[in-house]
């Protein structure tokens, strides 16, 4: 059938199973928006207040469903407003397809109104990007984009389409039922096969890896976000239990292993637990699964696990030996590799080693249990959220102290329930992500933990939350400061708090009222439990304004660049 380029876009999205897109219209993308209007029964469009939130919403949608998230924007500033969201997805390996529409092909390169070379801008932060200058290439490009986004190590792909291409007509041939078009695409483009191919270790390589693991006396698993992307949580649990190996998690892997399990040591790194950091430091084998050895995890690279063999399992060969030299490696899908390793792994008890790890678990900062009359304890806050939200709720965060407290204190019991910006550390990410998650899971609950500094960057999305009646509970961690930055100013800048104190508006209650969302306020632990319970049970969009002391620290803390076992466990003002 002969249809317009805009209609081809719709048909390709439906073909890929897309039911929801997030975006914001503009002049050069109007043909696609007109096609969306005519196909509103097939594709749901969520209008955000800002294009960046559309990208974050697509990101949150993708992280919790495992499907490709889709966002769209017009040319020029519409396209550039997606950039931070695309970069966030790139750093955290999230499959997102971003669709932008540019000025017409005859106008490209002429500094036309609202023209931007968005493929040039996003080249370093996408797995691949395209500009489609001929309508006959449109369907093929969309099919490639979705395959690239979700294959191998996932990531974002951008498709830029000049306006005239969306208006021209071409013969559209749907894919045969049950086909993803991969075979044809690979056949047409020999280089493309390198993008989608995933390495498969040999039986001999698997056997040698099992021998190394079986010989270890003080092993620890360092579980990263790749476990979640691979869907290997069940295999990880079986593996750890069979070999009796403690599991330390990265920030991105905080929900891949049940927090209540005796083998779980929670987060590792700068703000990791004493048990995780000491287990890595004293281990003789660090088995890294789907992790990238971020600087926030390793501290001083020369001192990281210096007595251990580091064995790295990852789908991306570029990660091997990138930040930490390894003594062994398996390149491939984590789930597939753990499945093959499991029968070869011997049962162990590692009794003495686990006793040592359990002793480290008892080393916690005193501030965990401090109660102040005029402020809320962050540990109490997160445990109270879990008390009412439970394991089923999705928890999102912005970036800062509240993010680290969530990672430290929320006892995640199920996978894909924790969504945060890890690699890029994007303030302004969480509200958009929460919206995308709530749209993807309308029957489930979403609680968004937001620092007052971060929330200033995206509070305009309250209008989106209200318009679509998304029952998101926003716990506003209100300490009147850019908390993480203030901590660094306290430690390294002799308490010169340059432009980090937020002692000026807005009035959050009036803002909530203006947007038509509920508002609750709490100044201490007892008040917080009372109002959070009420807010959560209301099943309506609302803000819980929660007062936290301006000088509350994130402890433990390893000083950047120092060994991760050299942790501050207390702070005297």
Burial of residue 133, with CB atoms counted within 10 A of its CB: 0-12 exposed, 13-18 middle, 19 or more buried: middle
- The reported pLDDT for the residue numbered 367 is 82
- The reported pLDDT for the residue numbered 190 is 47
Q: CA torsion angle for 555, 556, 558, 559 (degrees, to 10)?
A: 30
Region 281-291 average pLDDT: 98
119 — pLDDT class (breaks 50, 70, 90): very high
Residue among 140, 135, 99, 126 at smallest CA distance from 15: 140
- The reported pLDDT for the residue numbered 184 is 56
Q: In sequence order, what DSSP letters do the residues of 526-561 get, joined into one string?
A: HHHHHHHHHHHHHTS-EEEEEE--TT---SSEEPTT
Fold of domain 203-361: Rossmann fold (3.40.50)
197 — pLDDT class (breaks 50, 70, 90): confident
CA distance 62 to 70: 9
Residue among 280, 309, 271, 503 at smallest CA distance from 399: 271
Region 388-414 average pLDDT: 97
Which helix or strand (DSSP H or E) is residue 568 part of? strand 567-568
- The reported pLDDT for the residue numbered 194 is 45
- Domains 2-196 and 366-554 fall in the same CATH topology: yes
**What one-character DSSP code corresponds to residue 247?**
E
- The reported pLDDT for the residue numbered 240 is 98
CA distance 328 to 325: 9
Domain range list for the chain = 2-196, 203-361, 366-554
Region 248-274 average pLDDT: 97
Region 250-278 average pLDDT: 97
- The reported pLDDT for the residue numbered 505 is 86
Q: Which two tokens stand for residue 227?
A: 């476990």
80 — pLDDT class (breaks 50, 70, 90): very high
How does pLDDT run across 492-503, given as a tens digit for each residue?
A: 999 999 999 999
Q: For tokens 């990791």, what's the residue?
A: 272
| Between residues 547 and 183, the one the model is more confident about | 547
- The reported pLDDT for the residue numbered 215 is 97
509 — pLDDT class (breaks 50, 70, 90): very high
What's the pTM value of the predicted model, to 2 decimals? 0.95
Q: In sequence order, what DSSP letters do the residues of 463-527 get, joined into one string?
A: HHHHHTT---EEEEEE-SB-HHHHHHHHHHSTT--TT-B--S---HHHHHHHHT-EEEEESSHHH
Long-range contacts of 107-110 (CB under 8 A, 24+ apart): 108/162
- The reported pLDDT for the residue numbered 369 is 80
Helices 483-492 and 401-409: angle between axes, nearest 10 degrees: 100
Which helix or strand (DSSP H or E) is residue 86 part of? helix 83-91
User: In terms of DSSP bridges, do strands 169-171 and 2-4 run parallel, antiparallel, or are they unpaired?
Assistant: antiparallel
| pLDDT of 195 above 80 | no
Q: Which two tokens stand for residue 45?
A: 């469009």
How does pLDDT run across 437-483, given as a tens digit for each residue?
A: 999 999 999 999 999 999 999 999 999 999 999 999 999 999 999 99
> In DSSP terms, which residues pair with 171 in a beta bridge?
2
Identify whether the C-beta of residue 313 lies closer than 8 Å to the C-beta of residue 330.
yes
Region 506-510 average pLDDT: 97
How does pLDDT run across 300-334, given as a tens digit for each residue?
A: 999 999 999 999 999 999 999 999 999 999 999 99
CA distance 55 to 83: 8
Domain 2-196 top-level CATH class:
alpha beta
Region 530-552 average pLDDT: 97
SS3 322: coil
How does pLDDT run across 135-193, given as a tens digit for each residue?
A: 999 999 999 999 999 999 999 999 999 999 999 999 999 988 766 555 555 545 544 55
- The reported pLDDT for the residue numbered 573 is 53
| pLDDT of 58 above 50 | yes
CATH classification number, 366-554, choose in 2.90.10.10, 3.30.70.2190, 3.40.50.10190, 3.40.50.970: 3.40.50.970
């Amino acid at each position: 059938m002969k249809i317009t380029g805009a209609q081809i876009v719709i048909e390709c999205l439906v073909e890929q199973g897309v039911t929801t897109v997030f975006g914001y219209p503009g002049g050069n993308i109007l043909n696609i928006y007109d096609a969306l209007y005519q196909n509103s029964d097939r594709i749901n469009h969520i209008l955000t207040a800002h294009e960046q939130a559309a990208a974050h919403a697509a990101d949150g949608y993708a992280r919790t469903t495992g499907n490709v998230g889709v966002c769209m924007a017009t040319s020029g500033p519409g396209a550039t407003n997606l950039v931070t969201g695309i970069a966030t997805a790139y750093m955290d390996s999230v499959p997102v397809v971003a669709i932008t529409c540019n000025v017409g092909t005859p106008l490209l390169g002429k500094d036309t109104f609202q023209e931007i070379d968005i493929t040039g801008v996003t080249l370093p932060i996408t797995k691949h990007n395209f500009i489609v200058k001929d309508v006959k290439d449109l369907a093929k490009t969309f099919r490639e984009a979705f395959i690239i986004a979700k294959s191998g190590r996932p990531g974002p792909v951008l498709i830029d389409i000049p306006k005239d291409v969306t208006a021209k007509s071409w013969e559209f041939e749907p894919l045969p039922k049950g086909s993803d078009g991969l075979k044809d695409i690979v056949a047409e483009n020999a280089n493309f096969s390198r993008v989608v191919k995933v390495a498969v270790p040999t039986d001999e390589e698997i056997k040698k890896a099992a021998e190394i693991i079986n010989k270890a006396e003080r092993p620890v698993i360092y579980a990263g976000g790749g476990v979640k992307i691979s869907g290997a949580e069940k295999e990880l649990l079986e593996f750890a239990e069979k070999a009796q190996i403690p599991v330390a998690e990265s920030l991105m892997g905080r929900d891949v292993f049940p927090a209540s399990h005796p083998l779980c040591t929670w987060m590792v790194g700068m703000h990791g637990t004493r048990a995780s950091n000491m287990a890595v430091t004293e281990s003789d084998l660090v088995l890294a699964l789907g992790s990238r050895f971020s600087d926030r995890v390793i501290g001083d690279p020369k001192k990281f696990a210096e007595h251990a063999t580091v064995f790295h399992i990852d789908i991306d060969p570029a990660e091997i030996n990138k930040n930490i030299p390894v003594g062994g490696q398996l390149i491939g899908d984590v789930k597939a590799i753990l499945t093959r390793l499991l029968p070869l792994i011997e049962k162990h008890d590692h009794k003495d080693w686990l006793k040592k790890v359990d002793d480290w678990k008892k080393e916690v900062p005193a501030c965990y249990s401090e109660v102040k009359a005029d402020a809320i304890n962050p540990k109490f806050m997160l445990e109270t959220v879990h008390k009412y939200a439970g394991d089923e709720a999705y928890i999102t965060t912005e970036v800062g102290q509240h993010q680290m407290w969530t990672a430290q204190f929320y006892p995640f019991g199920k996978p894909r329930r924790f969504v945060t910006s890890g690699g890029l550390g994007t303030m302004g990410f969480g509200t958009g992500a929460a919206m995308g998650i709530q749209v993807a899971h309308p029957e489930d609950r979403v609680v968004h933990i937001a620092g007052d500094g971060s929330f200033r960057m995206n509070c305009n999305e309250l209008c989106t939350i209200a318009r679509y009646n998304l029952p998101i509970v926003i716990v506003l961690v209100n300490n009147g400061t850019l908390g993480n930055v203030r901590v660094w100013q306290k430690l390294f800048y002799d308490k010169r708090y340059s432009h980090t104190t937020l002692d000026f508006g807005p009035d959050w209650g009036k803002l909530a009222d203006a947007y038509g969302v509920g508002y609750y306020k709490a100044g201490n632990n007892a008040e917080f439990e009372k109002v959070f319970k009420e807010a959560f049970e209301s099943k309506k969009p609302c803000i819980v304004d929660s007062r936290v002391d301006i000088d509350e620290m994130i402890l433990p803390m390893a000083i950047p660049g120092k060994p991760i076992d050299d942790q501050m466990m207390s702070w005297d003002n």
